[in-house]
Structure 1
């Protein structure tokens, strides 16, 4: 009657009874049990082991060494013929938890492991049911080999296999079956770099050269897609922006002296990004498309820098150079300059035509000005106040004629010097305009090349 009045005491006594029967059950089960032999009543029969994998986390993907590190929960279920009891004899005790070292366990390992150390399921407890069913849940951090194809990096998909099988028991001794049709992703922790799009499983029966017996194995295929946002903003976008600086080197004035420096600086910047990509990629023969994009861009910048050096030689031809050929005047100066909107050197393209001043005047000093100067000099002698000059008119007239011819010769010499200087300046200006038109032509050519190359590479990779 006291027990009926004290349900808490009844519950405590029930737990005590359960503990007493569990201890007695363990002693009875392990009295004549051996965990060294396969627990089957018929040695010719195969022991069925159900395998189920739960993917908890992708810890790391080492593309360079082609190693995938994952955190898995491994569940193995089998029946032990020597670990059964009648639950009514033990106070309806249906299940007990015991250390896994006390029972026989299948030696199922990861075939394609890539770890030097021994890594496998932890020695956790097993759940033992009255009908002999053993459930062994254990966590494991595995490193497996994964053939990484980085051709479409950073828009790539990867398929990594996890192959499990018994190391010593063949299929006639231990038959491995699928607990689920695929890996369990319900407890998967999202990775910052990879998206998991499934983990299908398949059971294979393999024949190896060492043995004539078949071996069963379970292969889980991990379908991974790379999150490309990080690489787009840190690798692709800087290269895309830097590559657009290469055509602008043609727009930079040649007199600034910075055209070649800009090309070399851009080339060095791209080399740094190329090294960053090369360090993270495996040293394989197949180069990723982003690497091809870098190489193509660097080749284009090298070509643009070489052309810039060639055009600068044309720009600085100077007055000592040969005149511009006739075909170059017609093709480059007359037609191409209009197509690419190239105006005269030093000319402001926003200034109206009527307000523009000619760069080189036709005649630096006209004959009319010379005659005005002569008349001025003649008038100066005629209006001189010296009485002796007026008294001897014929002598003064002769002196004036002689002086006038001398002045005219000087003026003609000066005019010829100006004409020669003007011709030299016009020749130098023509070479500068040829260089400027070629600069503008190659600028648009390289702009189109950069744009098309970027579109083709990104479309191909994505």
Structure 2
């Protein structure tokens, strides 16, 4: 019973809602609603124009008459210029205009309708294609509506994304300028059937200085547009005697170099000047060759990065490649020079002898030229220095024995008779005696024979030590001379390689003509799209068509 009551209550609520809807419905208040209808004049015009229209036939009254098609290009985006594949990708609007005598009407007969939009698939279209297409479709794929005027003028502006082939010149990369073309023409009709002209072309001239509309162009982050001319050409092919007309739209672009300067040029310059520091590094550190090798490996990595960017062409070496090659040559030469300097640094008297000419040049002349000053050499330091073990110094007792040895090696008879005071006092009185005193090698001639064998053995030991120290002093002086020669060579090559790096860097990088070209980009001057993405209302400016001969209006018979 409860279920039956609930269903009856729901039916009552439904009837109440339906009653309220009928009362407040527009049909009840205002009467019957008439169905919406489109513009009857436009509909009638559309039916009259296309009822007997054949879109496959060229719209001319006489087959020998030439149909003039005006072509223009509006650039919206420059998506990419791929250096590796040599393809330019652009987003454009292809502006096409012509006169179709079969699409004229008198606005008076159709309620004052002067223009109408019709699907482009229903009317004749010029088969304009891009000849230098690299990938994708040759023709327009998005069939937008065409705008028809009562004079028979047809305006069709379909958008398209084109991938055109572009010959890349990498000679001055990354300070380069590129010139790419987009060539449009009719694929089927010759110049006597369809005469292709630019919308802004002046009579008697085939060149339009500003041939691409940049009013809706979004600025590129990689390129600046310098010139956008258009040129009309007529070419003859072996197959036909009739001319074929086409229009070439050119884009001359200059690369924005900030990215490559920060990520390629500056690191390469820094790595190049690191080579100079190799000659400032002491030879005893043992890291000169290691530093050169590390720099060479870094440059190899930059070469690999460059190979991934530029096309594999053998026509020209890019500017950055020249600089990297120059840097690698500098680093390779620095490795060879460093090996030679280290060879000189570690020479010894037992293996090499320094000639007098070399001694004069590297020890006397070149240090003055290179502003080098050598500390004075004190040969007496060798007597108080231990070069092999310990802390490097000799105790006082041993030093006194060496001093006695220095006296004994002069071979004086007074000293051998244990009366060295007279000999020492006279050592500085008479220079002739000093120069004429006997050497240690002649000590046997002055050794008294009446001394005991123990004293003679001690004397021989002291004489041997003195001679050994004297020879070590001479050897150490020669070793220091070789080290000083290596220091002179390091200073010399430091100056040479610094000059070479500065001159080479400036001479290679400043070859690029774009560094001296201060032409203002034309895209910044002509675009109406601001950087934050807001644009002014676009206006499609196109010249008024002046056909050779306009046919009188065709008064279409209105349908009843």
TM-score, normalised relative to structure 2:
0.71
Could you tell me whether the CA contact under 8 Å between 1:164 and 1:218 is conserved in 2?
A: yes
Distance in 2 of aligned mates of 1:402 and 1:370 = 21
Q: Evaluate the alpha carbon distance shift between residue 73 and residue 121 of structure 1 in structure 2; reply closer, same or farther with a 3 A threshold.
A: farther
1:321 Cα deviation after fit: 1.8
**1:333 aligns to 2:353 (yes or no):** no
1:44-55 counterparts in 2 under 5 A?
Answer: 44-55=64-75
- Between stretches 16-25 and 287-296, larger displacement belongs to 16-25
Distance 1:255 1:334, change over 3 A: same
Partner of 2:220: 191
How many residues are aligned here? Answer: 420
CA offsets per residue over residues 59-87 of structure 1, 9 Å max, x none?
A: 00011221111111111001111111111
C-alpha displacement at 1:341, in angstroms?
A: 3.5
Alpha-carbon distance between aligned partners in 1 of 2:310 and 2:491, rounded to the nearest angstrom? 38
Shift of 1:406: 4.0
Change (3 A) 1:246 1:423: same
Please state if 1:124 is matched with 2:154.
Answer: no
- 1:26-75 Cα deviation digits (max 9, x unpaired): 11111110101101111110111111101111100011221111111111
Deviations 1:322-368 (A, max 9, x none): 22111111000111123223444xx6xxxxxxxx7837637664458
Shift in alpha-carbon separation, 1:38–1:332, aligned structure 2, 3 A: same
Distance in structure 2 (CA, Å) of the matches to 1:258 and 1:368: 43
What SS does the corresponding residue of 1:209 show, helix, strand or coil?
A: coil
Match of 1:83 in 2: 103
- What's the secondary structure of 1:332's corresponding residue? helix
Partner of 1:410: 461
Q: Alpha carbons of 1:63 and 1:117: their partners in 2 closer, same or farther (altered >3 Å)?
A: same
- Counterpart of 2:112 (choices 85, 92, 105) is 92
**Partner deviation per Cα, 1:111-155 (whole Å, 9 max, x = no partner):** 111014455352001001111111001111111111111101111
In structure 2, the residue matched to 1:213 is 242
Compared CA separation, residues 366 and 324, structure 1 to 2 (3 A): farther
| SS of structure 1 residue aligned to 2:461 | helix
1:424 aligns with 2:458: no
User: 1:308-387 counterparts in 2 under 5 A?
Assistant: 308-344=338-374, 358=378, 361=381, 365-367=402-404, 370=407
Contact 2:129 2:138 in 1 (8 A): no
8 Å Cα contact 2:233-2:247 kept in structure 1: yes
1:231-246 superposed matches below 5 A: 231-246=260-275
Identify the match of residue 247 of structure 1 among 276, 283, 287. Answer: 276
The secondary structure found in structure 2 opposite 1:38 is: coil
Provide the residue aligned with 1:9 in structure 2.
none
Distance 1:307 1:357, change over 3 A: closer
Q: Give 1:297's match in structure 2, choosing from 308, 323, 327.
A: 327
1:159 to 162, 167, 179: 179
Aligned pairs for 1:440-459 within 5 A: 440-459=491-510
Cα distance change of structure 1 residues 360 and 194 upon mapping to structure 2, 3 Å threshold: farther
Query: Which digits, 9 at most, give the CA deviation of each residue in 1:276-302, with x for residues without a partner?
Result: 112211111211121111101101110
Secondary structure of 1:158's match? Answer: strand
The answer as to whether partners of 1:18 and 1:91 remain within 8 angstroms in 2 is no
Q: Structure 1, unaligned stretches of length 5 or more?
A: 1-12, 348-355, 380-396
Answer whether contact 1:97 1:127 (CA < 8 A) is retained: yes
Q: Which residue of 2 aligns with 1:135?
A: 155
Equivalent residue in structure 2 for 1:434, among 485, 494, 497: 485
RMSD, matched Cα: 2.6
Give runs of aligned pairs for residues 11-90 of structure 1, distance below 5 A: 19-90=39-110
**CA positional deviation for 1:168:** 0.5
Residue 423 (structure 1) shift: 1.6
Match of 1:224 in 2: 253
Map of 1:393 onto structure 2 = none
Query: Larger Rg: 1 or 2?
Result: 2
Superposed CA offset, 1:159-211 (max 9, x none): 11111100000011111111123111122111111001121111111111221
